[in-house]
Amino acid sequence: MSGIYDKNRPGALFPSADPALAKGLGQLPELLRVILPMKEKHRKLLATGVRRLSGFLTTERDNLPPDYMTRPEYLAAYLHYFMPWNIYRQARLLQGLDFSLKPGSTILDFGCGPLTFLQAMWLTRPHMHGHQYQYVGFDRSEPALKAGQKIFMGLAGEEGNGWKIQTEKNLGAARKSGPADMIVAGNFINELNAPRSAPGEEVSAEDVLLQRWSNLLKPDAAILVIEPGTRSSSKQLVRLRQSALATGWKVVAPCPHAGECAMPGNRGGAWCHFNFSPVDIPEWLFKFSRKVKLPKERASLSFLLLTRGDTPPIKTATPPRPNKGEGVVRVISETFDLPADQMGRYGCSDRGLVLLQSPKNKMAGPQPGDLLRVTWPSKIQKDGKSKAIIVPSTSGGYKGTEE
Ligand SMILES: C[S@@+](CC[C@H](N)C(=O)[O-])C[C@H]1O[C@@H](n2cnc3c(N)ncnc32)[C@H](O)[C@@H]1O
């Protein structure tokens, strides 16, 4: 087992930043000063670039220039703001996953940008340092790939020499990389033009994408897709999940079951995504985010982890088989107030959406991403608004999965 598990929160998906992660994030400003020297007048324009790119990546998606990562203004903005936040988000998730890639394994990272996932992996997987791995990052932006390689060398130093890092501009070149152990895509599939199916075929864009990826992987393999925590990205992952379940892939996380998605993000309904407090980001990122007027009170993401085969290279804590009358629930939302001095959190179970209800208190309690074992109430009641099954903490309640 190699995730950074918190004993009090077994199965937790987003443990707080480990010191190695905090140290690596702290090194970024100095590394960027060396890798991307900027004239003072360009440095002054950094905040404007970050805000413009933020608009393109969120509300004005249709206007996102396809080559944004090759334009100096936006590449600089990405490296100083979006990449550090994405390393942080992806690393917090990685810390909660049991990653057992054997030495010699190959990872393909599609839409890797400045090798964001590679940096997050290096900073959270010290047990992989000193072993041989092959990583191939694919991105149409050559300058982003080059910057990413330099950042990796800066973070990893000579210890990183055991990892063979290759980059490719053309996604089609993945066929030449041999069957891989794992495919990763971070903040990428929402930018990808939907792959076309053959005329007359009744398949979704996600079916086509998954088929392509499946053909690039070994029989025992994993796919990890990490996307923004938006409704549209989450819905895209729900479609990918459907394609995966229909073609023999196992959905390992975040779903605690293989049934119908309890949070499909239909109009007005909740969508599956996770928010967590970024209290452990480095001081410089906190200050820079405020300076560019894009501070974050919450880091947010949606994701899907798929595996196939008996010995896949990546796992999460397996939910223990619940006793009779019990179920396993993944906590999805943060807390919100309910009437009568109660508070609630939404969770996902094989019975559908769950509303975990407890008296309002200041104790931290279960966090988004935690796996809980719940006792189903003898008489099932549903919340009028969300139609979630109400599980009060007082009726047998819920507990961490270790018990
Ligand atoms: C939002 S960035 C994500 C970068 C990185 N994975 C991260 O999480 O920070 C999306 C990346 O996908 C790349 N991209 C989008 N469409 C692509 C395509 N058709 N072929 C190759 N790269 C593509 C872009 O150049 C960009 O670097």
- Same domain for 395 and 284: no
pLDDT at 185 over 50: yes
Q: What is the CATH number of the domain that holds 210?
A: 3.40.50.150
* Proportion of the chain above pLDDT 90, given as a percent: 77
Q: How confident is the model at residue 323, as a pLDDT?
A: 84
User: What would the mean pLDDT of 287-309 be, rounded to a whole number?
Assistant: 96
Exposed / middle / buried, residue 25 (Cβ in 10 Å: 0-12, 13-18, 19+): buried
Ligand 1: centre distance to CA 221 (Å): 22
User: What would the mean pLDDT of 16-26 be, rounded to a whole number?
Assistant: 93
Cis peptide before 254 (omega within 30 of 0): yes
Range of the domain at 342: 326-400
- Same domain for 369 and 248: no
pLDDT at 319 over 80: no
Write down which residue in 315, 345, 379 finishes a domain: 315
pLDDT at 255 over 90: yes
Instruction: Give the 3-state secondary structure of residue 114.
Output: coil
Could you tell me which of 338, 330, 173 has the C-alpha nearest to residue 259? 330
**280: in domain:** yes
Query: What tokens appear for 261 in the block?
Result: 């998605």
Could you tell me which of 105, 108, 129, 104 has the C-alpha nearest to residue 117? 108
Nearest CA to ligand 1 atom 11: 111
pLDDT category at 205 given cuts 50, 70, 90 is: very high
Ligand 1: centre distance to CA 399 (Å): 40
123, HSE (Cβ side, Cα atoms, 13 Å): 32
Alpha carbons 227 and 238: distance in angstroms, whole number: 12
For the CA of 82, the closest atom of ligand 1 is: 9
pLDDT at 317 over 80: no
How do beta strands 371-375 and 398-400 pair?
antiparallel
- The more confidently predicted of residues 1 and 16 is 16
User: What would the mean pLDDT of 246-273 be, rounded to a whole number?
Assistant: 94
**12: in domain:** no
CB 141 within 8 A of CB 70: yes
Ligand 1: centre distance to CA 187 (Å): 7
- Same domain for 298 and 245: yes
**190: in domain:** yes
**Average of per-residue pLDDT values in the chain:** 91
Of 113-122, 201-210, 340-349, the poorest mean pLDDT is in 201-210
User: What would the mean pLDDT of 171-175 be, rounded to a whole number?
Assistant: 93
Q: How confident is the model at residue 5, as a pLDDT?
A: 40
Q: How confident is the model at residue 361, as a pLDDT?
A: 82
Reduced DSSP (H G I as helix, E B as strand, rest coil) percent helix, strand, coil of the chain, to 5: 35, 25, 40
Could you tell me which of 131, 170, 132, 165 has the C-alpha nearest to residue 151? 165
**321: in domain:** no
Q: How confident is the model at residue 181, as a pLDDT?
A: 97
Query: CB neighbours (10 Å) of residue 108?
Result: 26
- Same domain for 77 and 40: yes
Q: How confident is the model at residue 211, as a pLDDT?
A: 96
pLDDT at 375 over 50: yes
pLDDT at 272 over 80: yes
- Tell me: the pLDDT tens digits for 61-94? 889 999 999 999 999 999 999 999 999 999 999 9
Element (H, E) at 138: strand 133-138
Of 10-24, 77-91, 178-192, 284-298, the poorest mean pLDDT is in 10-24
Q: How confident is the model at residue 267, as a pLDDT?
A: 87
**9: in domain:** no
Q: How confident is the model at residue 320, as a pLDDT?
A: 63
For residue 368, CA distances in Å to 91, 98, 279, 396 come to 16, 18, 15, 21
- Same domain for 136 and 41: yes
Alpha carbons 125 and 161: distance in angstroms, whole number: 15
- Same domain for 290 and 373: no
Cα 240 to the center of its chain, rounded Å = 15
For the CA of 185, the closest atom of ligand 1 is: 6
Write down which residue in 256, 285, 315 finishes a domain: 315
Which distant-in-sequence residues (6+ apart) come within 8 Å of 330 by Cβ?
A: 254, 255, 256, 347, 348, 349, 369, 370, 371, 372
Ligand 1: centre distance to CA 323 (Å): 44
- Same domain for 303 and 337: no
Alpha carbons 237 and 243: distance in angstroms, whole number: 10
**320: in domain:** no
- Same domain for 345 and 245: no
pLDDT at 8 over 60: no
User: Strands (DSSP E) along 153-216, which ranges?
Assistant: 163-168, 180-186
pLDDT category at 199 given cuts 50, 70, 90 is: confident
Alpha carbons 312 and 224: distance in angstroms, whole number: 12
- Same domain for 232 and 204: yes
- 215 - beta bridge partners? none
Q: How confident is the model at residue 170, as a pLDDT?
A: 95
**Which residues line the pocket of ligand 1, CB cutoff 6 A?**
69, 83, 86, 111-113, 116, 138-141, 144, 171, 186-188, 191-192
In angstroms, how far apart are the furthest CA atoms of the chain? 68
In the chain, how many domains are there?
2
pLDDT at 223 over 50: yes
pLDDT at 296 over 80: yes
Q: How confident is the model at residue 316, as a pLDDT?
A: 73
- Same domain for 273 and 168: yes
How do beta strands 133-138 and 163-168 pair?
parallel
Could you tell me which of 146, 101, 138 has the C-alpha nearest to residue 122? 101
Q: What is the CATH number of the domain that holds 372?
A: 2.40.50
Could you tell me which of 124, 138, 128, 117 has the C-alpha nearest to residue 160? 128
pLDDT category at 402 given cuts 50, 70, 90 is: very low
